[in-house]
């Protein structure tokens, strides 16, 4: 955004006897240490250097003047720089002031040829989802703005009516580090049985019904630009999933020895996209990690691991982190909400589970 | 031999601490260093002793202790009324109110200055403070500080194609209590509770404990869930942790029952109603009685008597008759809705950041006549 600031230049002649040509401008060079800062060039005297350069929002309300913008002034090579703490916004006008120099008003110019951000993928990708669905992941093509994103998404039923408060609106939002992936939770107080919110409002999704999740393109990315498109996701609700994932029920398709064919694991259901991508690790008989690449396919129902080197005619072991969850937040150790009265399987507390196969 | 070495080292360390202490420097800040702590986000802030501000930084998975040097004792202003605080902050940062979010607010109990952790929409964190009159930026470029990394609950580090971490523990609350910084976090992947107790001054990573805490709903279902807000509270002379979960039960744990690696089930003392996310909990006292005040996303500020919590011995074992859509200990709704931030200003006053019905975000005080 800042690279497209027009280089605004103002020549100021201080007096007839003082022909220092002072230039006020915004630094636009990509590799400049002070990119995006206001620069006052050709400082004439030491006394000038003691004065600060101040920048204000413009226009000011004379009845309610606002203080100068927070930033840092530095002097380098006969130039005085003012770098704002927050980059100047393309939607606002600013005024730089320096003693004995006419005010300098500027407005950053929006970037040309800006590639708008898109919502690349939404997980789970499958349309049929359990009534007690807990999470969704929204993957964006570029970093998004840090603020209240919930206002840009809503859930509608078949009649086009908005569902009230289906999501837990957390502050801060559950972004990844650079805000390209958002984790969206259905309100766990409504999903969990017997909690008041569940009793009073019911689960956000009801079995047998269909919904559409709408995501508005008005949602801004980190540079303040709206998304390229609106996004919708159809949801058909099926029976609640109250069975913990069990690796003993997974199907393994072992590869052939002396090949680099993939080993394929069929989970038999879609698992949590983020956790499934990261919870399985393959070891050889000596307990050494097998080098290779893994990926999820088939709506996160299948894990495919392709080794870098040929398989040997030996046993192998897949270690599965017990934190791996299905779409309803049930993990390998426990269900999302455990009915203590009807508990049939003992609660476990294992860090890992294992799945063995042999390559022939 | 190793033992002797350790003893000698411990003695030298003790001696050094004392020397520093005698030199006028507090042992709490003895291992602080000067410089820029490179805080990448400020999701929760809270004051410890001696004007030390703890900053919960989800993005870099750090807790940073900052010596604000703001430790001249002052009386709290009798009344604070600041209108449109978000607009005032935005003007100071050269942007609009829509582009900033106030992540947290904390009162320095010594100077009574009110600190704000603010994020710009591009993710830049900014620390500000006010005396109730003007708002000032608190630069962190050259401050005395100490940092502690929050251990990732799962060691497998996952990064995207830009090399950024996908897994983040979003810090939901942070409090200092008797030599420990307590941090609750929400994973952006597994649905899990991470609650850490980190001894302060920060020493080694091994010292921090990750606790698994559950709550029981009506005695029938036991579930775990992330904690949104919490407060260490003395109940009947014993240290307890009062935690508000994201699914809104209010749960009490004796501090001594929280041990690393142990499954701890807390006592659910109340459920807090619909469409609500708990935001802040504070403790106030009046005429020898202690109260919890809790700010909520969709409900009024709630007042709960600590005596009632102490006397509530039955965890919610049966479906409780509906009481304003809530259950468990009684609580009183105070006439303050849409309170986004709440903190104790003095023994007699609390301060609130409230979205008023006209849309303005105002900062103002209330006194303990509400207790």
pLDDT of residue B152: 59
Interface of B with A in 121-160 (CB under 8 A): 121-124, 126, 134, 137, 141, 153-154, 156, 158, 160
pLDDT of residue A24: 75
Report CA dihedral (A95, A98, A103, A106) to the nearest 10 degrees. Answer: -40
Round to whole Å and give the CA distance between A235 and A240.
Answer: 14
A69 and B93 within 8 Å at the Cβ level: the answer is yes
User: Any idea which of A270-279, B73-82, B196-205, B291-300 has the lowest mean pLDDT?
Assistant: B196-205
pLDDT at B87 exceeding the cut of 90 = yes
Q: Which of B153, B186, B327 sits opposite A174 (nearest CB)?
A: B186
A86 and B124 within 8 Å at the Cβ level: the answer is yes
∠ Cα B105 B106 B112 (to 5°)? 130
- In the numeric block, the tokens 């609950």 are attached to B153
Round to whole Å and give the CA distance between B168 and A178.
Answer: 10
Q: Which of A55, A135, A179 sits opposite B123 (nearest CB)?
A: A179
Interface of B with A in 184-203 (CB under 8 A): 186, 188-192
Question: Can you read off the two tokens belonging to residue A84?
Answer: 């704002």
B248 and A222 within 8 Å at the Cβ level: the answer is no
**Distance of CA B305 to CAs A255, B55, B288, B291, Å?**
64, 29, 12, 5
∠ Cα B209 B210 B214 (to 5°)? 130
Round to whole Å and give the CA distance between B302 and B334.
Answer: 6
Among B361, B350, B362, B345, smallest CA distance to B76 is for B345
Interface of B with A in 27-66 (CB under 8 A): 41, 43, 58-59
A92 and B271 within 8 Å at the Cβ level: the answer is no
Question: Can you read off the two tokens belonging to residue B371?
Answer: 């207790």
Round to whole Å and give the CA distance between A284 and A251.
Answer: 19
User: Any idea which of B9-23, B47-61, B173-187, B287-301 has the lowest mean pLDDT?
Assistant: B9-23
B43 and A172 within 8 Å at the Cβ level: the answer is yes
Segment A66-72 long-range contacts (CB within 8 Å, at least 24 positions apart) = A66/B88, A66/B91, A66/B92, A67/B91, A67/B92, A67/B134, A69/A94, A69/B91, A69/B92, A69/B93, A69/B94, A70/B92, A70/B93, A70/B94, A70/B126, A70/B137, A71/A37, A71/B94, A72/B141
**Distance of CA B99 to CAs A86, A352, B119, B258, Å?**
10, 44, 8, 40
Helix (H, G, I), strand (E, B) or coil at B255: helix
pLDDT of residue A212: 98
Is B324 in CB contact (< 8 Å) with chain A? no
Burial class (CB in 10 A: 0-12, 13-18, 19+), B92: buried
List of chain A residues whose C-beta atoms are within 8 Å of the C-beta of residue B158? 274, 277-278
The total of other beta-carbon atoms located within 10 Å of residue A315's CB is: 12
State how far residue A215 is from chain B, nearest Cα, in angstroms: 19
Q: What is the DSSP letter of A70?
A: P
List of chain B residues whose C-beta atoms are within 8 Å of the C-beta of residue A196? 248, 271, 273-274, 325-327
Round to whole Å and give the CA distance between B65 and B290.
Answer: 29
- Report pLDDT digits (tens) over A161-190: 999 889 988 878 899 988 999 999 998 777
A323 and B217 within 8 Å at the Cβ level: the answer is no
Q: Name beta bridge partners: B245.
A: B227
**What does the pLDDT average to over B194-219?**
66
pLDDT of residue A210: 97
B190 and A196 within 8 Å at the Cβ level: the answer is no
Q: Which domains does chain A have, with CATH numbers?
A: 2-106 (no CATH), 119-238 (2.60.40.3710), 247-358 (2.60.40.1220)
- Report pLDDT digits (tens) over B112-150: 999 999 999 999 999 999 999 999 999 999 999 999 988
Q: Which of A69, A199, A272 sits opposite B92 (nearest CB)?
A: A69
- Report pLDDT digits (tens) over B27-41: 999 999 999 999 999
8 Å CB contact between A179 and A216 = no
Residue in chain B lying closest to A173 (CA):
B170
Over the range A144-159, which residues count as b (16 or more CB within 10 Å of their CB) and which as e?
Answer: bbbbebbebbbbeeee
List of chain A residues whose C-beta atoms are within 8 Å of the C-beta of residue B217? 192, 194-195, 337
pLDDT of residue B86: 97
pLDDT at B360 exceeding the cut of 90 = yes
* Alpha-helix residue ranges (DSSP H) falling in A196-347: 196-201, 273-276
Round to whole Å and give the CA distance between B101 and B96.
Answer: 11
Q: What is the ipTM of this complex?
A: 0.85
First to last CA, chain B: 60
Round to whole Å and give the CA distance between A38 and A33.
Answer: 12
Q: Which of A96-105, B41-50, B165-174 has the highest mean pLDDT?
A: B41-50
pLDDT of residue A289: 96
- Report pLDDT digits (tens) over A41-88: 876 655 455 567 889 999 888 888 889 999 998 888 878 889 999 999
List of chain A residues whose C-beta atoms are within 8 Å of the C-beta of residue B271? 195-197
A176 and B188 within 8 Å at the Cβ level: the answer is yes
Question: Can you read off the two tokens belonging to residue A121?
Answer: 């993928």
8 Å CB contact between A121 and A139 = yes
The residue of B189, B228, B269, B321 whose CB has the most chain A CBs within 10 angstroms, and thus the best one to mutate to test that interface, is B189
Round to whole Å and give the CA distance between A139 and A227.
Answer: 13
User: Any idea which of A140-144, A170-174, A353-357 has the lowest mean pLDDT?
Assistant: A170-174
A196 and B327 within 8 Å at the Cβ level: the answer is yes
Round to whole Å and give the CA distance between B185 and B172.
Answer: 5
pLDDT at B297 exceeding the cut of 90 = no
Residues 6+ away with beta carbon under 8 Å from A221: A116, A117, A140, A142, A143, A144, A145, A227
pLDDT at B12 exceeding the cut of 80 = no
Q: Which of A66, A192, A272 sits opposite B223 (nearest CB)?
A: A192
**What does the pLDDT average to over A188-202?**
70
A70 phi and psi, to 5 degrees? Answer: -70, 130
8 Å CB contact between B160 and A178 = yes
State how far residue A197 is from chain B, nearest Cα, in angstroms: 5
Is A141 in CB contact (< 8 Å) with chain B? no
Round to whole Å and give the CA distance between A107 and B132.
Answer: 32
B154 and A278 within 8 Å at the Cβ level: the answer is yes
List of chain A residues whose C-beta atoms are within 8 Å of the C-beta of residue B166? 176-177, 181, 274
pLDDT of residue B147: 94
């Amino acid at each position: 955004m800042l690279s497209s600031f027009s280089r605004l230049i103002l020549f100021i002649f201080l007096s007839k006897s003082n022909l220092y040509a002072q230039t006020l401008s915004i630094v636009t060079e990509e590799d400049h240490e002070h990119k995006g800062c206001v620069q006052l060039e050709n400082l004439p005297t030491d006394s000038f250097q003691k004065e600060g350069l101040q920048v204000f929002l413009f226009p000011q309300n004379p009845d309610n003047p606002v203080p100068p913008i927070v930033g840092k002034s530095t002097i380098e090579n006969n130039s005085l720089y003012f770098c704002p703490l927050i980059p100047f916004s393309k939607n606002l006008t600013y005024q730089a002031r320096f003693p004995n120099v006419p005010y300098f008003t500027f407005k950053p110019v929006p970037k040309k040829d800006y590639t708008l951000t898109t919502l690349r993928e939404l997980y789970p990708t499958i349309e049929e989802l359990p009534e007690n669905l807990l999470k969704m992941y929204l993957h964006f093509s570029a970093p998004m703005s840090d603020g209240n994103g919930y206002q840009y998404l809503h859930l509608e039923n078949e009649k086009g009516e908005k569902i009230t408060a289906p999501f837990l609106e957390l502050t801060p939002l559950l972004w990844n580090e650079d805000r390209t992936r958002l984790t969206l939770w259905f309100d766990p107080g409504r999903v969990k049985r017997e909690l008041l919110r569940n009793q009073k409002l019911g689960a956000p999704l009801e079995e047998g019904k269909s919904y559409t999740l709408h995501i508005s393109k008005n949602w801004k990315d980190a540079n303040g630009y709206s998304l390229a498109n609106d996004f919708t996701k159809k949801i058909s609700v099926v029976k609640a999933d109250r069975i913990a994932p069990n690796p003993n029920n997974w199907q393994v398709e072992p590869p052939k020895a002396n090949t680099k064919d993939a080993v394929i694991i069929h989970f038999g259901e879609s698992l949590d996209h983020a956790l499934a991508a990261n919870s399985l690790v393959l070891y050889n008989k000596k307990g050494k990690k097998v080098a290779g690449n893994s990926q999820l396919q088939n709506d996160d129902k299948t894990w495919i691991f392709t080794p870098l080197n040929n398989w040997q005619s030996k046993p192998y072991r897949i270690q599965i982190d017990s934190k791996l969850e299905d779409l309803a937040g049930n993990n390998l150790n426990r269900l999302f909400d455990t009915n203590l009265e009807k508990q049939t399987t003992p609660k476990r507390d294992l860090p890992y589970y294992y799945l063995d196969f042999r390559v022939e | 031999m190793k033992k002797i070495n350790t003893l000698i080292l411990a003695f030298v360390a003790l001696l050094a601490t004392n020397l520093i202490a005698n030199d006028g420097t507090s042992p709490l800040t003895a291992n602080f260093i000067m410089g820029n702590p490179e805080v990448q986000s400020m999701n929760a802030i809270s004051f410890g002793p001696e004007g030390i501000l703890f900053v919960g930084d989800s993005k870099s998975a750090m807790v940073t202790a900052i010596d604000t040097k703001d430790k001249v004792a002052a009386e709290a202003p009798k009344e604070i009324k600041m209108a449109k605080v978000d607009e005032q902050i935005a003007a100071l940062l050269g942007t609009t109110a829509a582009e900033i979010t106030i992540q947290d607010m904390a009162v320095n109990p010594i100077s009574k200055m009110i600190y704000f952790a603010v994020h710009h929409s591009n993710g830049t964190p900014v620390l500000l403070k006010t005396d109730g009159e003007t708002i000032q930026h608190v630069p962190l470029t050259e401050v005395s500080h100490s940092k502690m990394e929050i251990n990732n609950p799962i060691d497998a580090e996952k990064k995207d194609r830009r090399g950024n971490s996908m897994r983040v523990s979003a810090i939901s609350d942070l409090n200092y209590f008797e030599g420990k910084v307590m941090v609750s976090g929400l994973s952006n992947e597994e649905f899990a509770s991470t609650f850490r107790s980190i001894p302060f001054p920060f020493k080694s990573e091994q010292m921090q404990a990750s606790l698994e805490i559950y709550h029981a709903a009506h005695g029938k279902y036991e579930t775990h869930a992330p904690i949104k807000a919490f407060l260490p509270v003395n109940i009947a002379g014993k240290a307890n942790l009062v935690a508000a979960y994201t699914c809104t039960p209010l749960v009490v744990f004796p501090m001594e029952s929280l041990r690393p690696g142990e499954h701890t089930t807390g006592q659910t003392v109340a459920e807090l109603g619909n469409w609500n996310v708990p935001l802040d909990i504070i403790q106030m006292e009046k005429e020898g009685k202690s109260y919890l005040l809790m700010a909520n996303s969709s409900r009024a500020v709630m007042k709960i008597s600590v005596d009632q919590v102490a006397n509530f011995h039955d965890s919610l074992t049966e479906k409780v008759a509906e009481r304003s859509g809530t259950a468990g200990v009684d609580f009183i709704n105070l006439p303050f809705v849409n309170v986004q931030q709440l903190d104790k200003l003095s023994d007699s006053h609390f301060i609130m950041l409230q979205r008023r019905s006209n849309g303005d975000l105002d900062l103002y005080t209330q006194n303990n006549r509400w207790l």
